Amino acid sequence: MATLEPINTCLSVQVHHMVCSLGLEKVDSADLERIVTVSGQVCWEAITPYLRTLDTEDQGLNYVESVRLLGPVCKSVHSHLLSLSTKQFRDQYGLWFRWTDNTELFVEVFEAIRSSQHTATALSLMKLTACLERALGDVFLIIDKDCPFLLRDLLASQELATVFGQSVMNVLRVFLGSPRSLNLRNILWHGFAAPSEIPPMYTSMLLLLTAGLGQILKGAVPHRTSTLLHRPYFKLTQLEELAVFPDINEEAIAVAEDFVGKSDFVVKIMLPYWREALAAYRNQRYADCVIFLLPQLEMGLRNLFTTVNNCPNRLLTAESTTLYTTFDEMLAKYLDNDDINQLPPALGDPIMEILWDLLNHQEGPRIRDHLSHGELDLNAFPKEMASHVVALAVVLLHHCCREGNGVATENECLRTIIGSTHSYCSRFHPIGRLKQQLRRCVGSLQKWDEIPKPTLGQPPERSGSDHSGPTAQTGCLMDKLVSNLINRLQPVYNEELSLSQHLLTEAQLHLVTKLLAGHTCTLYCPRATLEAVALLRKIASQCLTVSEQIMSSAASRHQQWLSKSLRSRQRQNYLRMLGSIQYLHPVFSLLTLLITVELLNVQITSKNASSECHCYLKFLKSLLQYTENMATYTSPDKNKWAESWDLTEKLLLKVKNFYSKWYNVITDCAT
């Protein structure tokens, strides 16, 4: 993946000029005493006059002139902060950061700007912008209940202008939130800015402005009926499901450091970020490690993306008229000109699925989104997530290594890391989530054999409306349905399956486990597939509810039976429950197999004509209706066991009729 010439910057000419030069053009300094008082009060009325508007009808901000004029102000603020000790800064400004609910982070940012390390300043600016966005969102929620997802929309909102004033929000917009502005948050979080490219004075200015917002807020909130509440942090609950790589140890870090210097995945001007990321992991600063790495994973993928798609111009930051090339576009199936994106085949399905799981799927950790929007507690960032991101980085570094694959064979840990990707199946795609639901269903149904049963004397009397359970005819019907499902597997499953071996419930559940172990493609599923999978997930969820309810009720009733605390009618109902378990167990095991088989066939089925797809979805909705009714009938407060069998008989007949009618159509499409 060699490039023709060294990359000196990933900022386009105009963006580079705006960020790296424009604010430094004026050599004079602003009068600090007019900007901030001796006691630390920010004088917004001395800052806002430096803003300029365009000579257009809407009189939008003139970002170029505003940045040029605000440059001396930023220099004066930077010099002021550099003159303070940490204690002086905390004493003078600490109170005004409380509104962010993260005062210590801003003290850390202050200490970073006093260091000579460009990477530390960049890291601090990323943390500052994320925390500031979260805090501004909390303020927004004082007035409205739906906070904008994007920072640029938040800064442009009327709600924040009402609290802080429009001119104050315009000052913030010069630094953040618009592609035409300095846009500091985006060029850092998307990996465009090299360590030394953003002048430290902008970090100092944002630090002071954040304190200034706190001063405004102190006067604004007491006059409002609502108080400023801070939203709880997002909890990363998916760590166990995400665990695919071995834990990163010191040996793996050392080899990763060697990889960084050999892989074309790394843009050389970004090397300091990579080294600091690995050092942060070694020093157990796991949040810092991931904040450093995620933008560089995006930058490395962008580098590969532009190479395989032959569009080198896309490596640079875009201007305001063009979208940045970000994760969303790089992981998509098609380019913006409708050509097929060559990055997915270059990486292979397993790596693509890992990336989608980590970054994009709604039920996954979406780690970059949550981090960059300030939604995670950086002080409690889990080592497991950092280890996963480092391992993924190693995989991508190795994938683009100039020395080929041989280097991975020298280290057992690295061999394991690289090998871990080969059989990866998505955990957080709807298909992956459905597989997990089905595994839980199997586990729950297998525990039915452990349901305690009392020693019965006389069999219970049955009313005329009661049923004794499945008839021989029903048993034949269920066998027929198993046969249909086995036949449905033929186009999508390689092994020969014997019908006689899968008539028993235990064998069906074992088959489900075996089928779920295979790989199912999840990339770029069409809408019809996702619609069917959504219904299958709802059905599986209801099946699990029924199973858990029955086991819980049976255990509770058994204890009451032993303690002789059941009244006569309750005893009769308990015995009906025990009889129902005998026939509901094979029915729900069969239903679990049906969901699994339909999952494996869903991509074929969704290719049918729209009328056939409509009928198929209607069939799935009828299954869902059945399972929802069963969840109600088997709930502790209902106990409608006779009605549950009536419902089940109708369902089995409906399934038989559906497969009889549609089997030929579906199998023809598969072939």
Residue 560: phi and psi, rounded to 5, are -70, -35
How far apart CA 668 and CA 209 sit, in angstroms, is: 67
pLDDT (0 to 100) of residue 472? 66
Paired strand residues for 340: 334
Residue found by looking up tokens 């994973």 in the block: 297
CA of residue 546 relative to chain centroid, distance: 29
How far apart CA 373 and CA 648 sit, in angstroms, is: 49
How far apart CA 399 and CA 416 sit, in angstroms, is: 14
Classified as helix, coil or strand, 334 is: strand
Shared domain check, 522 and 647: yes
Shared domain check, 501 and 618: yes
- Residue 153 and residue 174 in contact, taking contact as beta carbons nearer than 8 Å: no
Both tokens of 556, joined, read: 């509770």
The secondary structure of residue 2, as a DSSP letter, is -
Residue 70: phi and psi, rounded to 5, are -80, -15
Shared domain check, 324 and 281: yes
Rg, the chain, Cα only: 31
Shared domain check, 271 and 145: no
How far apart CA 322 and CA 309 sit, in angstroms, is: 18
Both tokens of 483, joined, read: 């046969």
Shared domain check, 384 and 269: yes
- The residue range of the domain holding 202 is 13-223
Shared domain check, 185 and 56: yes
How far apart CA 160 and CA 132 sit, in angstroms, is: 13
Domain edge (last residue) among 359, 387, 420: 420
- Residue 508 and residue 590 in contact, taking contact as beta carbons nearer than 8 Å: yes
Domain edge (last residue) among 420, 452, 485: 420
Q: What share of the chain is helix, strand, coil (3-state, %, to 5)?
A: 65, 0, 30
Shared domain check, 573 and 484: yes
Shared domain check, 280 and 164: no
Rounded alpha-carbon distances, angstroms, from residue 560 to 179, 452, 580: 68, 12, 19
Nearest CA-CA partner of 479 in 495, 453, 460, 501:
501
Residue 2 lies in a domain: no
Domain edge (last residue) among 420, 443, 467: 420
pLDDT (0 to 100) of residue 459? 44
Both tokens of 110, joined, read: 């202050």
Nearest CA-CA partner of 134 in 161, 94, 100:
100
How far apart CA 198 and CA 605 sit, in angstroms, is: 53
pLDDT (0 to 100) of residue 670? 46
Both tokens of 250, joined, read: 């010191």
Shared domain check, 185 and 299: no
How far apart CA 208 and CA 205 sit, in angstroms, is: 5
Shared domain check, 124 and 165: yes
Q: Mark 584-606 as b/e (b = at least 16 C-beta within 10 Å).
A: bbbbbbbbbbbbbbbbbbbbbbb
Maximum separation of any 2 CA atoms in the chain, in Å: 101
pLDDT (0 to 100) of residue 121? 94
- Residue 37 and residue 45 in contact, taking contact as beta carbons nearer than 8 Å: no
pLDDT (0 to 100) of residue 664? 56
How far apart CA 405 and CA 415 sit, in angstroms, is: 10
- Residue 442 and residue 592 in contact, taking contact as beta carbons nearer than 8 Å: yes
Residue 4 lies in a domain: no
Residue 6 lies in a domain: no
Residue 328 lies in a domain: yes
How far apart CA 82 and CA 113 sit, in angstroms, is: 8
- Residue 354 and residue 402 in contact, taking contact as beta carbons nearer than 8 Å: no
How far apart CA 531 and CA 606 sit, in angstroms, is: 9
Paired strand residues for 53: 61
Residue 3 lies in a domain: no
How far apart CA 186 and CA 290 sit, in angstroms, is: 16
Shared domain check, 465 and 400: no
Shared domain check, 253 and 390: yes
Residue 233 lies in a domain: no
Residue 234 lies in a domain: no
- Amino acid of residue 533: V
What's the domain count of the chain? 3
Low-confidence ranges of the chain (pLDDT < 50): 1-3, 458-467, 666-667, 669-671
Residue 109: phi and psi, rounded to 5, are -60, -45
Residue 665 lies in a domain: yes
Question: Cα-Cα-Cα-Cα dihedral of 436, 440, 443, 444, to 10°?
Answer: -170
Residue found by looking up tokens 């900022």 in the block: 11
